[in-house]
Copies of this chain bind each other. A is one copy, B any other.
Amino acid sequence: MTSAIPDSHRDLLEAPTVGTLTTVGADGYPQSTAIWFLLDGDVIRTSLLTERQKYKNLVRHPRGTLFRVDPANPYRTLEVRADATVDDDPELVFLDRLLAHYSTDRASFPAPTDGRIVMTLTPHHVVTNG
């Protein structure tokens, strides 16, 4: 059992692509969505709107999992079970970093920018396959 992201699968978190974030709803059903995210040293960060269900789920139950499947090999996967913490994003400094990673910016970004926080996922347990 490890909480480190191994070099062998780090590429799955470095590529600017979507990951599957799963939270747990109040009714006990897992809830999965595709998200943009940024590997920031040894943690994963994303920008969430506080009105969204996944934000509310993580505040109530601060355990979430990011999962990536290698698009070139569906048997090569990375699962990061993580503890979630919330920080403000004053002047949207983090959002700008995230958007730059995806080669875009606030002017081109179609989603709302008001009411955004930084959600940090600190790895608790990392599982790799392939």
Instruction: Quote the shortest CB–CB distance from A84 to chain B (angstroms).
Output: 11
CB-CB contacts below 8 Å: A1-53 with B: 17-18, 20, 22-25, 27-34
Give the contact-size bracket for chain A. Answer: 20 to 34
Q: With A17-B74, A74-B17 known to touch, is A32 a contact of B28 (CB < 8 Å)?
A: no
Please state if A34 and B77 are interface contacts (CB–CB under 8 Å): yes
- A130 (CB) vs chain B CBs: closest residue: B34
Question: Could you tell me which A residues sit within 8 Å of B by CB distance?
Answer: 17-18, 20, 22-25, 27-34, 61, 63-65, 67, 69, 71, 74-75, 77, 79, 81-82, 124-125, 129
Residue of B27, B32, B75, B82 touching A79 (CB-CB under 8 A): B32
